[in-house]
Amino acid sequence: MLVMIAGLMALLTVGSAAMAETGGTPQWSLALHGGAGTLDRKDMTAERDAAYRAALQAALDAGSAVLAKGGSALDAVTAVVVRLEEDEKFNAGKGAVFTWERGHELDAAIMDGKNRAAGSVAGVTTVRNPVLLARRVMEASPHVMLAGRGAEQFAKEQGLELVDPAWFDTAPRREALERMTRDKLSALDVDIKFGTVGAVARDAAGNLAAATSTGGMTGKRWSRIGDAPVIGAGTYAENGACAVSATGWGEYFIRVGVARTICARMSMLGESAQAAADAVIGEVAALGGDGGVIVADAKGETAFSMNATGMYRARATSAGLREVAIYADEK
Ligand code: ASP
């Protein structure tokens, strides 16, 4: 009898531990995006679809591995974004869109929710992984934002890997610029998606972090800078509130202050990540902009919101959730 009771109790203990993990706060959670925009099934071949899903899965695995080992949210979002910067399918690092002058100007940001430390870079042309430079700005400089030549100089002093600007070139991005200039189109006509990458995470210690990296918009000129490196617009993290990374038409995201507004709604109005994200993406839409966000909250809930036909995205938790999706109508 005693043995039976002990056995039953052991079973109950296992059961409730499993329930705590699936039903309550997960120890860690992670969400990422690879850009939002016009993503129609009819423009996508089965191979392309599979290649994007595999790339999103690989990035998700890279970040999950960090968090599963007890690593920080900051290290997890860094690992995800580096991985996506290295993948030429995405508009960040290799595979970045071309500027009007046929170069690449890369923007990136990272923020640590623990102390609201932040670093960002804008308009860099030779830094292989701009998110690593943003992290150095946060950790090794007294500043938050560096741009252009000065940012390159800082990268050199920090010993970061520099590449020839042509290293970022890819044929599909060149073709998009050629089509844009030839047919007098806008960036929105030639980019089947925006392609920026980003990640948000909550680690087992409860810390939140966010990172974003982008080549910006095809054919950008006059040293145009988008929302990604603007803290509070494309990127934001604050423990106890939320972590956000955005993608979309940057000018609108800057004007709405998207990431910070989502966090403020959550902490001041008590809104859920989903409700706050939907409300703020609604503001972007009302002004005529489009794009999407990924959000993580203090409890490790994650949310996606977009006013676009698709957003490359994925998420995972310690409780076993694993999702990779592309189209808006996918779960
Ligand atoms: N938000 C980026 C920008 O405006 C573009 C993107 O999301 O792809 O620079």
Paired residues of 107 in beta bridges = 214
Locus of tokens 């560096």: 146
Per residue in 118-130, pLDDT (tens digit) is 999 999 999 999 9
Report the separation in Å between the CA atom of 248 and the middle of ligand 1, taken as the mean of its atom positions.
Answer: 5
- Going by pLDDT thresholds of 50, 70 and 90, the confidence category of residue 17 is very low
**Cα gap 42→33, rounded to integer Å:** 21
Tell me the CATH architecture of domain 2-327.
4-Layer Sandwich (3.60)
Nearest ligand 1 atom to alpha carbon 249: 4
Instruction: Give how far Cα 190 sits from Cα of 98, 179, 239, Å.
Output: 12, 7, 38
Helix axes 46-68, 73-85, angle to 10 degrees: 150
**What mean pLDDT value characterizes the chain?**
91
Banded pLDDT at 180 (limits 50, 70, 90) = confident
Pocket of ligand 1 (CB under 6 A): 35, 91, 194-196, 214, 216-217, 226-228, 234, 247-248, 250, 291
Mean pLDDT is lowest, of 19-23, 70-74, 191-195, for 19-23
Q: Report how far ligand 1's centroid is from the alpha carbon of 73 (Å).
A: 23
Of 249, 252, 281, the one to substitute when testing ligand 1's pocket (max ligand atoms within 8 A of C-beta) is: 249
| Section 190-213 average pLDDT | 91
Assess contact for 126 and 162: CB atoms under 8 A.
yes
Ligand 1 centre to CA of 38 (Å) is 13
Amino acid occupying residue 140: A
Q: What are the residue boundaries of the structural domains of the chain, listed by start?
A: 2-327
Q: What residue's CA is closest to ligand 1, atom 4?
A: 250
User: Which residue in 196, 214, 247, 317 is the catalytic one?
Assistant: 196
Q: What is the pLDDT of residues 25-37, one digit of tens each?
A: 789 999 999 999 8
Tell me how far the alpha carbon of residue 217 lies from the centroid of ligand 1, in angstroms.
6
- Please give the distance of CA 98 from its chain centroid, rounded to a whole number: 20
* Ligand 1 atom at minimum distance from 225 CA: 9
Q: How far is the CA of 215 from the centre of ligand 1 (A)?
A: 7
Dihedral sign (CA 58, 193, 282, 216): positive
Mutate to test the pocket of ligand 1, among 212, 214, 223 (most ligand atoms within 8 A of CB): 214
Question: At 67, which helix (H) or strand (E)?
Answer: helix 46-68
Query: Catalytic: 196?
Result: yes
Q: What global pTM score does this model have?
A: 0.91
pLDDT of 1 higher than 70 = no
Residue located via tokens 């531990």: 17
Average pLDDT over residues 87-116: 97
Find the mean pLDDT for residues 10-28: 48
- In this predicted structure, the answer to whether residue 14 has a pLDDT above a threshold of 80 is no
